């Protein structure tokens, strides 16, 4: 791994680590870490700031991950460096250095990364998320279903480079691990009550 690739990875990590949800929340007088689920991502922002602000958080999280990868794609031709830059971006959001390495769950950033590397899989994934959210009313289920869809399509794509498939597998592991508390709530039958409490949170 060259120093140049490491520099790009560091840049992607720092850019994607910008806590968009936290900053927008603070600008609105709300610390997202102290309300609802305590997450700084779009779902908690929608519940506690409103749909418009939550959508802005989502767009910001997608952009901060996709822009570094898009920039790197203009510099590197090989899929390996691009996959590493993409992974660094996702890690930057999940383990943001600006909030003591406590960030979001990585779903929007994963979507942003694969929007550049595997756009068809990303678009199908977001469609699956919206459909699942509409059917279940549980954001965590939608997020995990969408992530699994993106990963599955990327791995099944015979034209996708091995580096992208490994990135997809790593992304799935990270996102599922970050949603482990949600899974415990769902399996325990508590998720719907939790979602209702978060929706009512100030």
pLDDT of residue 189: 64
Angle at 65 between CA 59 and CA 66, to 5 degrees: 80
Kindly indicate the confidence band of residue 197, based on its pLDDT and cuts at 50, 70 and 90.
very low
Spell out a b/e string for 126-163, using b for 16 or more CB atoms within 10 Å of the CB, else e: bebbeebbeebebbbbbbbbbbbbbbebbbeeeebbeb
How many domains, in total, are found in the chain?
A: 1
For residue range 48-65, list pLDDT tens digits in order.
999 999 999 999 999 999
pLDDT of residue 201: 37
| C-alpha to C-alpha distance for 49 and 202, rounded to whole angstroms | 9
Assessment of whether the complete model's pTM goes beyond 0.75:
yes
pLDDT of residue 154: 93
Domain of residue 112: give its range.
3-200
Q: What is the DSSP letter of 158?
A: T
φ/ψ (deg, to 5) at 197:
-65, -40
For residue range 2-54, list pLDDT tens digits in order.
999 999 999 999 999 999 999 999 999 999 999 988 899 998 999 999 999 99
pLDDT of residue 182: 77
pLDDT of residue 18: 97
Q: Which residues contact 147 (CB under 8 A, 6 or more apart)?
A: 107, 110, 125, 171, 172, 175, 176
72-81: long-range contacts at Cβ-Cβ below 8 A with a sequence spacing of 24 or more? 72/8, 72/12, 73/116, 75/8, 76/5, 76/8, 79/161, 79/162, 79/163, 79/164, 80/161, 80/163, 81/5, 81/8
Nearest to 109, CA basis, from 153, 146, 72: 146
Q: Is the pLDDT of residue 129 over 50?
A: yes
Task: Provide the 3-class DSSP secondary structure of residue 37.
Answer: coil
């Amino acid at each position: 791994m060259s120093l140049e690739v490491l520099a790009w990875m560091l840049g992607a990590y720092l850019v994607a680590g910008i806590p968009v949800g936290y900053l927008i929340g603070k600008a609105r007088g709300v610390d997202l870490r102290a309300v609802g689920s305590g997450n700084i991502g779009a779902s908690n922002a929608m519940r506690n700031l409103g749909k418009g602000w939550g959508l802005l958080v989502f767009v910001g999280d997608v952009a901060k991950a996709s822009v570094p990868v898009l920039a790197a794609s203009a510099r590197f031709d090989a899929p390996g460096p691009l996959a590493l830059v993409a992974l660094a971006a996702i890690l930057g959001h999940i383990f943001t250095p600006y909030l003591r390495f406590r960030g979001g769950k990585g779903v929007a950033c994963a979507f942003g990364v694969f929007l550049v590397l595997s756009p068809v899989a990303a678009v199908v994934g977001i469609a699956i998320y919206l459909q699942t959210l509409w059917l279940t009313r549980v954001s965590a289920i939608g997020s995990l279903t969408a992530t699994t869809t993106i990963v599955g399509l990327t791995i099944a794509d015979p034209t996708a480079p091995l580096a992208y498939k490994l990135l997809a597998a790593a992304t799935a592991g990270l996102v599922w691990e970050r949603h482990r508390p949600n899974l415990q709530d769902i399996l325990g039958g508590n998720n719907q009550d939790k979602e209702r409490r978060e929706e009512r949170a100030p």
